[in-house]
Copies of this chain bind each other. A is one copy, B any other.
Amino acid sequence: MDTLDTFVDAPLRDVRRDLHAHPEAGWKEFRTTALLADALDELGYDVLLGTETVDPDERMGVPPTDDVAAARERARDEGAPEEYLEAMDDITGVIATRTFGDGPVIGLRTDIDALSLQEAMDDDHRPAREGFASGHPGEMHACGHDAHAAIGLGVAREFAENGFDGTLKLFFQSAEEGGRGGKPMAESGHLDDVDHLLAVHVGLDEPTGTVLSSYDAPLANAKIDVTFDGEPAHAGREPNAGRNALQAATAAIGNLYGIARHRDERTRINVGRVSADNAQNVICEEATMRVEVRGGTHDANEYMLGRAREVIDGAATMHDVDYETSLYGKTTTFENDDAVTERVEAAASATDAVDEIVRKEFGGSEDASYLIRHVQEQGGTATYLGIGASNPAGHHTAYFDIDETAIDIGVDVIVDTIELLT
């Protein structure tokens, strides 16, 4: 396929394919942001970029500066308009607002980041077969955020053309994967006046034609990166001279899994990654690990996180090593509002391509949770909805793809829901 120069009037399927071919992982969505901003600008929206879109202090899991810079240069090379790149100030994501009438302020949150995952490149995989597979080795839109961006753009176009009695605010959020971008955008200040918020996800192992009018109650989670720093020593000559970071990590991991689970709520803990790398005869001076906790409520999650921190602290004390932790990402829980969910159901019922409407609970986590709770805490209402898209392989796998007819269904259901909310 041809790379697009502008998203303003391209078919949404082409926009999705262009994004699929140019996936950008969290906090690196420079081309995606710039092309969306350019189109939204042209569609008459007020466009906010960079530090205006987030509380910068709340950003989590930001990649090393060099990686971000390289991603920006890549975006420039791949046609991202320079003026928008400059306005971003190295922070990706867009907020676009346009007032069409005196009615309520309606927000729509769509996430735009790709995963750090190598896409399948064989002919069993349609993006490969039809020429729009990822051109970025090790990055892939394997969770449908390319379609989310297209849907957000489609909604923007629809109202730019037809208007409605209210104000539309579009939140194109960075770095949903890992739960890194939701909290900073939620605390940007721009959610404060939102009366009703919609968030949308495609796929979710539901067939095209099914709409999840309420996708509800995710687990709260927190991910922390831990580095233990000790002292190396020759394990044969003077083992006592070392301070063994690997023993600290080992003690931590063994005891992290043993944290007492919470009485009434699902609670989880996992260590997904650990690394210490020396010759066999060197006592490890450094060991790193990535830990994740979850809880069925915000409090249960905080309980697990607090206990995990105690275990890590104690493990370092045990083996006389230093340590640092950093929050890689964090999400919270939410409950959808029936008032909004019912509007989604009404809108979906009125959509020809929809043949089933269901409500479902999350098994995992979502950082739209921060935006939703922020709106609800201000007195607004919100719902997270799903658009079935007959995904042929699971989310976060190399063969993930979607039935693209779901894009138009998503636009239709959302546009109708928004109109019903005014």
- Which A residues lie at the B interface, using CB under 8 A? 178, 219, 221, 223, 234-242, 244, 246-247, 249-251, 253-255, 257-258, 260-263, 267-284, 287, 290-292, 294, 303, 307, 310-311, 313-320, 328, 363-365, 396
Contacts and interface: CB of A to CB of B under 8 A. Distances in A.
Given A282-B272, A318-B315, A238 B251 contact: no
Contact of A253 (B246, B273, B363): B246
A280 B291 contact: yes
Contacts of A241: 263
A124 B238 CA distance: 29
Given A254-B250, A317-B314, A319-B255, A279 B272 contact: yes
Contacts of A294: 235-236
Contacts of A223: 280
Nearest to A115: B279
B278 A260 contact: no
A311 B317 CA distance: 7
3 shortest interchain CB distances as A-B pairs? A314-B318, A257-B258, A235-B270
A251 B260 contact: no
A257 B260 CA distance: 8
Q: How many copies does the complex hold?
A: 4
Contacts of A262: 239-240
Contacts of A269: 235
Given A280-B290, A280-B292, A318-B318, 19 more contacts: A178-B280, A235-B270, A237-B263, A238-B263, A239-B262, A244-B260, A247-B255, A250-B254, A254-B254, A254-B258, A255-B318, A257-B260, A273-B276, A275-B277, A310-B318, A310-B320, A311-B319, A313-B317, A315-B318
Contacts of A307: 320
Contact of A251 (B237, B254, B261, B274): B254
Contacts of A317: 310, 313-314, 317
A276 B273 CA distance: 5
Contacts of A219: 236
Of A239, A269, A294, A303, most buried by chain B (CB within 10 Å of CB) is A239
Instruction: Select the residue from A261, A310, A313 with max chain B CB neighbours within 10 A.
Output: A261
Contact of A274 (B255, B275, B318, B364): B275
A268 B364 contact: no
Nearest to A278: B272
A310 B242 CA distance: 15
Contacts of A254: 247, 250-251, 254-255, 258
A92 B271 CA distance: 42
Nearest to A312: B318
A246 B263 contact: no
Contact of A311 (B249, B261, B277, B318): B318
